[in-house]
Amino acid sequence: MYAVMGVTGKVGGSVATTLLASGCRVRAIMRDAAKAHRWTQQGCEIAFANTEHAAALTSAFQDVEGVFVMLPPVFDPGAGFPEAKTAIAALTESLKRAAVPKIVCLSTIGADAQQPNLLNQLGLLEEALRSLPVPVAFLRAAWFVDNAALDVASARSRGLIESFLQPLDKVYRKRSSTGTSSAVTSRLVSLARPTIARSSEYCASVIPLARAAAECEAMQ
């Protein structure tokens, strides 16, 4: 049995689907009971838990071979990231109490950045989970190809694809949420020690305009 957070999203959902396709049993962790039917139909066990509730998470993480964890995004946090710190504290405590044997955590490129920015929230998560006495893999995704459609408007109107990744002349390979789920699955099943999966393994950055426009058009 593997516990998966974020199953109602793209990455968590793809992780759960890939695990099921691999013949693994999955406990899908979610907050909204209205979204449970899809996963029960696929044979998942369901656990309801908010990220801030350690007791519910502890129950969801009990008696599993591994867990996939993530933080819900907070794009307008309070000073010092109180929302993320509350969730991280609950998540870390629940993982300790449940004594999970191995963890895969969805992080981000730039989680190790020192300057203040939104990515610091994932850096705090990595720091907390590193203190646990179990193998942990951090997947530092850069950019998902699924998001490329968001660049179509600026590519057409201004001939520009904006990027927050530096350096701009570095090419980051694209990765879809489905492709990332395969990496998560392999690490959940075989993880033996702490590791960081670097962004170059998973995601995308700036590419030439003609190629980008063509790929974006193909996605529509």
- Establish how many alpha carbons lie within 13 A of residue 101's alpha carbon, considering only the half-sphere containing its beta carbon: 12
pLDDT by residue (tens digit) across 101-118? 999 999 988 888 888 899
Q: Dihedral through CA 191, CA 96, CA 180, CA 160, nearest 10?
A: -130
pLDDT by residue (tens digit) across 201-220? 333 333 333 343 444 444 44
Q: What's the gap between Cα 185 and its chain centre?
A: 12
Q: Is the pTM of this model over 0.75?
A: yes
The CATH number assigned to the domain with range 2-144+174-203 reads: 3.40.50.720
More confident residue, 110 or 133: 133
Structure tokens at 204: 């995308």
What are the domain boundaries of the chain?
A: 2-144+174-203
Distance CA 186, CA 68 (A): 12
- Considering only 59-68, 94-103, 141-150, 184-193, which range has the smallest mean pLDDT? 184-193
pLDDT by residue (tens digit) across 84-93? 999 999 999 9
Distance CA 75, CA 54 (A): 23
Q: Is 119 helix (H, G, I), strand (E, B) or coil?
A: coil
